[in-house]
Structure 1
Amino acid sequence: MNTTTLAANAALNAQLPFWRKLGWADYGFALFVIALSVAAFQRFGSFMDGYEQAILVGTAIGTIALGWFWKALRVLVPVSIVLSLGAVSLYGDDLGRAQTAFWLKYALASQSAAMWMCVLFFLATAMYWVGLLRRSNTAELIASGLTWAACGAACVWFFVRWYESYLIGPDVGHIPVSNLYEVFILFCLITALMYLYYEGRFATRRMGAFVLLIITAAVGFILWYTLDRGAHEIQPLIPALQSWWMKIHVPANFVGYGAFALAAMLGIAQLLVSRGWLADYLPSHDTLGEVMYRAIAVGFLFFTIATILGAMWAADAWGGYWSWDPKETWALIVWLNYAAWLHVRLVKGWRGDVLAWWAVIGLFVTTFAFLGVNMFLSGLHSYGSL
C-alpha cells in the first residue's frame, strides 16, 4: 500500500463518526469497566451516599473515555484491577492474612505493592539514563516497561489499601488520598502516567531520564517517611477530612502538581539543550518546549478545577468560599503563576529559555504551596506534618 493510499484512508477515517472508529477491544474495555463498577456498587453501595455513588459513575465514564483515547490504559487498568481483586480475595475479611499469605506478604498487600513501586521506579530511572547516555533503544524500552510496571504496582496499592482501610473498620475506611504518604504515591502515579502519555505521543523516550528524577525524589521521600516515621500505617481520618469532597479535590490537585513537576524537569532539559549540553542525546529544544507547554496547560486546567472544588469544600465545611487562609493564598499564587506563564506563551508569543526558567522556578513555588505552607504556616489547613 503506497503513501497516497495510506493518506486517503487516514483522511476517510477522520471523517467517520466517533462511534464508527471504535473496535471490539474498545467495547470490551467499556463492558469490563461497567461490570466492575456494578460489582463495586453491589459490594460497597451500602457505605456510599448519593455523592459517592455519583463519583463512582463519573469515574467509570472517565475511565472508559481515557481507555478509548489512550489505548495503553486498556492494558494497565484491567491488569491492575485483576491483581487487586486477587489481593481482596486472599484477604477475605481477615487483615492479618497480610503477614501469612505468601502473595499478600511479598507482592499484593498495599505496603508490598508500594515497595515494588519504589524499586521499579528506581530501576526505571537508572535504565532511562543508561538509554540516554548510550543511545540504547533496548535500555529505553526496558525503562519504559519498568515505568509501566511501577504504575501498575501503584494502582494495586491504591485499590488494596482502600480495601484494607475498610477491613480495619467501616468508620476507618477511606480513599487513600488523606496524608502525605498516600498523596506522594498518588503523585508518583499521576506524574509517571502523564510522562508515559507524552512519551508515546511524541515517540521519544529520551525525556524519561529527567522526568523520572522528580519521581525518584518522591520515592525517596516515601521510603524515608515509611521507614523512619511509620507513615504507611492506616489511620482514621481526622474530622476535617471526613468529606466526600476530598475524593475529587485531592486527585484533581495532584494532576496539577504532577503536570507542573513534569514541566519543570523538561524545562531543565531544555535549558541544558540550549547550552549545548546533552543536545545530541535529548529531543530537540522545540520538542521539549512543546511538551512542557502541553503539560502546564493540562496541569493548569486541573489545578483550576481543584481550586474551585476546594472553595466549595470550604463553603461546606467552614461556611465561606474563601478566607485568605495561607493554603488558599498560596494556591492562588500558584494559579496566577501558571496563568501568567500560559498568557505570555499564547498571547505574547514567548518561547525559549525564559519559559523554561519560569517552569523550574514554578516548581519551587508549587512545592512550598503543597508542603511548606503546612510545615511552616498556621491556618485552617495546618493538619499535615512530617
Structure 2
Amino acid sequence: TPIAALVLLFIDVTGTSKEIMPLVPALQSNWLLFHVFLAFLGYAAFGVSFGASAAYIVLITESKFEKTYLFWSFIIGVFLIVLIAMGIDFLSLSAAQRVQLIQSHFLKASFRSSSSVVVAVSWISAGGFFLILWWFGYGLKNLLTKLSITPEMLDDITYKSIAVGFPLFTVGGLIMGAIWANSAWGKYWTWDPKETWSLITWFVYALYLHARFVGGWRGKRVAILAMVGFISVIFTYLGVNLVLSGLHSYGG
C-alpha cells in the first residue's frame, strides 16, 4: 500500500495523464515488458550504488573544502533543488495545466519563469540552499560513524550494486530495448535521445567496472564515477522526456 501510494503521488506531481486509454501498437509487445522490467531492476541497483557512493564520500571527507565534498554538495543539491522546483511548478498550475507539466511547464515557475525577478530569486535561493547543504551535510559523517558504517562497507555495496545492475541494464535496457524497437519500428537502433542516453549510461558504468577491475581504482575516484552514472540514469529516464522529444514520448 505505501508503495502504491508513492507511485500515485509521483504520477500526480509530475502531471502524468491518469486517463485509461488503449495502448498504442508500439506498446503492445511482450518485448517491452521484459525491457522495462529488467531495466528498472538495473535502475534500482544503480540507485543503491548512488546512495552508497554518496555516503562514502561524506564518510571519508576530512574538510568541507575538499573537491570531492564540494562535488557531493553540488550533485545532491541539484537533485533536491530540481525536486523542489518541480513541486513549485505543480502548485502554480491549474488542474488542466498539470496534465502537460512534463514538457511544457518544466521549471517555468522558477528558473525558466518569464519574470526576471522570479528567475533571480530562484537562483539566489538555490545558491543559499547549496551553502546550507555544504555546511550541514558534513554532519552526516558523525551519523554514519555512530551507525558503525565504514568506508570499506560502502565501497563494497557500491561495487556489488553496480555489478548486479550492469548486466540487468545491458540485457534489459539495451538488448531487449533494441529487439522491442525492431518489432515496433522496424529498426534496432535509431539514435533516439532515450537510446543515446541509455548508451551513455552504459558506458559510464562500463568505465566504472573497467577502472575497478583493470585499473585497480578504489576510493574517491570510483565513488564519483558511481554518482555520475546515476546522474546519467536520472537524465535517461526522466530528463530526456522533460527537455527532449523522441520515440519514447507517449503523450505524458
- Give the alignment's TM-score, normalised by structure 2: 0.62
- Cα RMSD for the two superposed structures: 2.1
- Classify 1:255/1:118 alpha carbon distance in 2 versus 1 (closer, same or farther; 3 Å): same
Question: Could you tell me whether the CA contact under 8 Å between 2:181 and 2:189 is conserved in 1?
Answer: yes
| In structure 2, C-alpha distance between the alignment counterparts of 1:326 and 1:241, rounded to whole Å | 18
- 1:303 pairs, out of 169, 172, 176, with 169
| In structure 2, C-alpha distance between the alignment counterparts of 1:235 and 1:282, rounded to whole Å | 51
The amino acid that maps onto 1:226 is D
Show CA shifts across 1:316-351 (max 9, x none). 111111111111111100000100000000111100
Q: CA deviation at 1:234?
A: 3.9
Which protein shows a greater Rg? 1
The aligned residue for residue 256 of structure 1 is 42
- 2:57 pairs, out of 268, 271, 281, with 271
Are residues 1:291 and 2:157 paired? yes
- Give the alignment's TM-score, normalised by structure 1: 0.41
Superposition pairs of residues 193-232 of structure 1, within 5 angstroms: 219=6, 222-226=8-12, 229=15, 231=17
- 1:367 pairs, out of 229, 234, 241, with 234
Show CA shifts across 1:52-72 (max 9, x none). xxxxxxxxxxxxxxxxxxxxx
Q: CA deviation at 1:297?
A: 0.9
Show CA shifts across 1:19-48 (max 9, x none). xxxxxxxxxxxxxxxxxxxxxxxxxxxxxx
The amino acid that maps onto 2:45 is A
| In structure 2, C-alpha distance between the alignment counterparts of 1:382 and 1:280, rounded to whole Å | 46
Question: Could you tell me whether the CA contact under 8 Å between 1:273 and 1:282 is conserved in 2?
Answer: no
SS in 1 for 2:146: coil
Are residues 1:347 and 2:133 paired? no
| In structure 1, C-alpha distance between the alignment counterparts of 2:189 and 2:14, rounded to whole Å | 36
**Which one has more relative contact order, counting CA pairs under 8 Å at least 6 apart?**
2
- Classify 1:324/1:227 alpha carbon distance in 2 versus 1 (closer, same or farther; 3 Å): closer
- 1:242 pairs, out of 10, 13, 28, with 28
| In structure 1, C-alpha distance between the alignment counterparts of 2:223 and 2:59, rounded to whole Å | 11
Q: CA deviation at 1:294?
A: 0.5
Superposition pairs of residues 6-21 of structure 1, within 5 angstroms: none
Extract structure 1 runs of 4+ deviating beyond 6 A: none
The amino acid that maps onto 2:147 is Y
Q: CA deviation at 1:271?
A: 0.8
| In structure 1, C-alpha distance between the alignment counterparts of 2:243 and 2:251, rounded to whole Å | 11
Bigger shift: residues 370-379 or 224-233: 224-233
Q: CA deviation at 1:245?
A: 1.1
The amino acid that maps onto 1:273 is L
- Classify 1:374/1:118 alpha carbon distance in 2 versus 1 (closer, same or farther; 3 Å): same
Question: Could you tell me whether the CA contact under 8 Å between 1:304 and 1:335 is conserved in 2?
Answer: yes
Question: Could you tell me whether the CA contact under 8 Å between 2:25 and 2:184 is conserved in 1?
Answer: no
| In structure 2, C-alpha distance between the alignment counterparts of 1:384 and 1:342, rounded to whole Å | 36
Q: CA deviation at 1:243?
A: 1.0
The aligned residue for residue 117 of structure 1 is 3
Paired residue total: 171
Bigger shift: residues 225-234 or 297-306: 225-234
Bigger shift: residues 280-289 or 266-275: 280-289
